[in-house]
Amino acid sequence: MKPQRFVLLDRDGTLIAERNYLARVEEMELLPNTLRGLRLLRDLGLGLIVLTNQSGLNRGYFDEAALEEIHAYLRRQLADAGIELAGIYVCPHTPDEGCACRKPEPGLAHRAAAECNFDAEESFVIGDKRCDIELGKRLGATTFLVRTGYGAQCEQEGVRGDYTVADVLGAAQVICDLMRDDNKRCITDR
**CA-to-CA distance for 147 and 157, rounded, in angstroms?**
12
Nearest alpha carbon to residue 71 among 23, 36, 139, 5:
23
Encode pLDDT of 87-135 as tens digits: 999 999 999 999 999 999 999 999 999 999 999 999 999 999 999 999 9
The ranges assigned to domains in the chain are: 6-182
- Yes or no: is domain 6-182 CATH 3.90.550.10? no
Q: For residue 182, is pLDDT > 70?
A: no
The residues, ordered by sequence, that sit 6+ positions from 164 with a Cβ below 8 Å of its Cβ are: 144, 145, 147, 151, 155
* Mean predicted lDDT score pLDDT of the chain: 94
Which residues lie across from 50 on neighbouring strands? 9, 88
Query: Which active-site residues does the annotation give?
Result: 10, 12
Predicted confidence band at 58 (pLDDT cuts at 50, 70, 90)? very high
